[in-house]
Each structure stands twice: as C-alpha cells, then as structure tokens.
Amino acid sequence: MNIQREEPTFLWYDLETFGLNSHFDRIAQFAAIRTTLDFEPIGEELVYYCKPSSDYLPNVEACLVTGITPQECEEKGMIEKKFIKKINDEFSVPNTIVVGFNSIKFDDEFIRNALYRNLEDPYKREYSYGCSRWDVLPLIRATHDLRPEGITWPKRKDDGTFSFRLTELTEANKIEQIGAHDALVDVRATIAVAKLVREKQPKLFNWSLNLRKKYTVQTKLAKFENDMIAVCDTKFTSKYGCTTLAHSITDIPSSSNVFMFDLTKDVQPLIDADVDSILEVDGLFHIAVNKSPFISPSNVINKATAERLNLDLDKCKENSEIIKNNPQIINNIIQAVANNKYEMATDDADFGIYNGFFSNKEKYVFEQIKKASIQEKFKILNKTKFEDDRSYDLVYRYINRNFEAELNAEERKEWKNFCKNRIKNPPESVENNLEFYVKKIGEYLKDDETPAAQRETLHKLQDYGIQLLKRLDSEEL
C-alpha cells in the first residue's frame, strides 16, 4: 500500500481474464488509475500481470479477444498470491472508491475469488478503512433512460437497440480510445465516459455515486417499501431502455436482497401464488443493496419520459395498489426464500466462496500457513483438523500453485498428478478441458478466415498446451 490519503479518491480499474467463469478462470491482466473525485490523476498508472498455474488452461476464445497469452503473463507476471496482494493493497488505501465498467458483476467477482483462493478475506476491502466500490455502467444506463441530453447514444448495428459498449460510447462521443480489450485502455475510456456524464448530468452522477453505499440504498428503499419505485437494470433491457417501475415489496432478513415486482407485468399470478410457486412468478425479482443498484423515486419518470420508455403510468399505479392490498405476498416471499437454500453446482473448493464464512480458527490457521516456510506449510496443513470441508483443498492448492518451484520430489509428483487430472477433467460446470482446448485451437487454425494476428495467438496457445503437458509428464519442473 504505497499511498496514504484521508480524502476520498477513485481507483478506476479493469481486468482482462482468461475466461468468463469467476470461480474457475484466472485474471490475466490488471490495470488501474487513481484520481481525485474531480478526475485529477494521482500517482502512476498501474499494470500487473498474473502468472498462470500448472493446473489451469486458459479459454482459447478469451485469448483471441484480448490477445494476451499465458506466455506473456509468465514473462511479465507475478504468482497469484503476490498479484492479488498488490491489488488488494491498492483497493484498501483508506477512503478509496474502487470503480469500473460492469465491474461489480464481472471484475469484482474475479477479485473476490482470487482473494479467496489465496486465503485472504474476499470482502474486507469493500467496506473497511472507509473504502467502497461503485460501478458506472448502471449510471450510464440510467442516464440514457432518464436524462439523455448532451450525450450521443450509439445503436447496435444488428437490431437498432441502444448500445452501452464502452468502445461504442467513446467512439460516438468522439472520445479517443486507441485499442480495446487492454485493461489500461479500458480504464482510461471508463474515466472519460464517467467524466462526460458528470459534466452533462451532475445530479444524476452524484445520486448514483451515493448508491454505492449499502446503508444509503437501504435507507432510500425503506422510504419506498410497499410502494412504487423506478429501477434501472439490465434485466429490463428493451429497445426503449433499461428502466421499469417496480413495487418494492420486502427485504429479506439476514440478506442483502430486496424483492420487487415489475409493474409492467400481470400482477394476478403474484396474488394467486403460494409459497411453493411465488419465486417463479414472472415479474418478481430482487436487487442486492450492496451492488450499487440504480433506484430512484417514481416521480423521476414524468409523462414524456414514460412515453419514451414505453411505460404505462396508470397501469403501473393500479398494479402497485393491488399489491398493497395483498399483504400475504410479503410472508409468502420470505418463507419461500427460507425454503430455498442456495447450493453450489459442485462441491469443489475453488467454487466455494459463497458457501459460508470461515471460522476464526480457520482464519488463524490460514495466517500461520501464509507466514510459514514451504515445509512448515505442509506440516500445518497435515496436522490441522479443519472445521470447514473446503479448507484442506483450498490450502493444499494455495501452497502448490504459489510455491511450485519449492516442492520436493514427492510433493511435486502428487501436484503434477493433480494438475494433469485438473486440465483433463475440470469441475463439472467447466467445459474448457484439454480435449476442448485442443479442438478449439484446431478449428480456428483450419478456418481460412482466421486473421493472422489470431493465428499467432493460437500457435502460442498450442505451444503452451504442449509444453505444459511435457512438464507435467516429466520428472523436472
């Protein structure tokens, strides 16, 4: 942590990843720029790469999009534990607002999982030291729907709907962006687009910025519980925009979720539903108060805005009143959620971040393992009776992934066997096994329309797979 500041700052960041599965796939590149709240740069631009571990193959198509190969990350990068610590230190500078473009749904999930894999607290940096996180994409959508003046809004070429892609927004508004799918380029573009929105719609910008705080969202929602509210979210995307009028029904005890009903939908099925069927009703949805949702009072949508968004104000008000007069809906939803416990699709430890918090005892052991020498790490691992089913596998993989060069012959053999099985037979929800990896590379190389730059990337991926298998089959590292 190389900056100590009392005043709030933005840390704008972006990731390039080796796939889309935040539980399994790895980060390839991280970039960030710290600024004041007035967008003045602070310190140096940051670019880090992460070395891939031997139990993982990148997704071929992800590499074709970014152009980043595992060889580049091997050459420029750090082992994952050092990589994620440097990122976490920057995120944890007091009063930092960590912000990106679609970061809460995508990038932040990769950050959380990398922290979890490396025995670090996945969440502390999101709320401690006055820190918080924000996402400008909901702001961009809301600006288009509610206050579009002053900004050029590009349309998709295929269907004519509005596009919120970063590259298209910068191009339409004559913001220079040389290159794409490079983390630092995308960070600069995100800053420029956010600056444009604040210049044209400062009140909306500040409203959205304040919604990054869970308490603020909860306070505003409390005013509208059992009443009508405007919600902007990708789930409501249409050719008109991303905003609907919803009825705020209830929050869920011991949860960050608040259930709502889309008032453009037929309300009768919600009234008729029982506990067993209510969560399946079309129009019922929930928002997470800790994920910077964009909400606002319903009066933000006047008649002209409603017409542009294709919202029937009278019908929405009528449906809201019907819900108010049926209080059993609240109890049905709360009971239904209690009856439907979340379960992961696999019990693999790498996928277990949301399977509960670790006990203080487990956390203490994690800290001891991180401080110990390589052989002491294994001694602690093997003598500890863990309380959590995830802990042994998580620690075992942490040690081997980050200290592979320090393993003795027996440890190395065991780890290589794990790696070979992992890349040939990954967890059930991951299709990117060795067979698929080889097949995709072959398909693209046989395609005459594959560009020369992508062919170069494909040959590097092909060579990486060959060399990885040779190394895992040999007696050497």
- 88-101 tens-digit pLDDT: 999 999 999 999 99
Q: Which residue has the tokens 């592979």?
A: 404
- 218-242 tens-digit pLDDT: 999 988 877 899 999 999 999 899 9
Q: Would you state the pLDDT for residue 1?
A: 45
- 310-347 tens-digit pLDDT: 999 999 999 999 999 999 999 999 999 988 765 555 78
Beta strands in 126-251 (DSSP E): 132-135, 227-232, 243-251
- 415-469 tens-digit pLDDT: 999 999 999 999 977 888 999 999 999 999 999 999 999 999 999 999 999 999 9
Q: Is the pLDDT of residue 4 over 80?
A: no
| Rounded Cα–Cα distance for residues 123 and 256 (Å) | 14
| Rounded Cα–Cα distance for residues 242 and 431 (Å) | 32
Q: Would you state the pLDDT for residue 2?
A: 47
| Rounded Cα–Cα distance for residues 242 and 244 (Å) | 7
Average pLDDT on 249-259 reads: 85
What are the boundaries of each domain within the chain?
A: 1-203, 211-340, 349-473
Q: Would you state the pLDDT for residue 199?
A: 97
Average pLDDT on 8-14 reads: 98
The percent of residues above 70 in pLDDT, for the chain, comes to 96
Find out whether 359 and 387 touch, Cβ atoms under 8 Å.
yes
Average pLDDT on 67-82 reads: 97
Q: Which of 242, 137, 152 is nearest to 190 (CA)?
A: 137
- 173-192 tens-digit pLDDT: 998 766 556 899 999 999 99
The phi, psi pair for 365, rounded to 5°, reads: -65, -40
- 379-414 tens-digit pLDDT: 999 999 999 999 999 999 999 999 999 999 999 999
Average pLDDT, the chain: 93
Q: Which residues pair with 50 in a beta bridge?
A: 78
Q: How confident is the model at residue 162 (pLDDT cuts 50, 70, 90)?
A: confident
Q: Is the pLDDT of residue 156 over 90?
A: no
Q: How confident is the model at residue 262 (pLDDT cuts 50, 70, 90)?
A: very high
| Rounded Cα–Cα distance for residues 416 and 405 (Å) | 12
Q: How far is CA 256 from CA 250, 252, 341, 384, 396, in A?
A: 11, 7, 15, 34, 32
Domain covering 1-203 assigned CATH 3.30.950.10 in the classification: no
- 115-142 tens-digit pLDDT: 999 999 999 999 999 999 999 999 999 9
Assigned CATH for 211-340: 3.30.1520.20
Q: How confident is the model at residue 285 (pLDDT cuts 50, 70, 90)?
A: very high
Residue scoring higher pLDDT (360 or 182): 360
Q: Which of 333, 342, 226, 340 is nearest to 281 (CA)?
A: 333
**Furthest CA-CA distance within the chain:** 74
Q: Is the pLDDT of residue 20 over 50?
A: yes
| Rounded Cα–Cα distance for residues 372 and 365 (Å) | 11
| Rounded Cα–Cα distance for residues 418 and 409 (Å) | 14
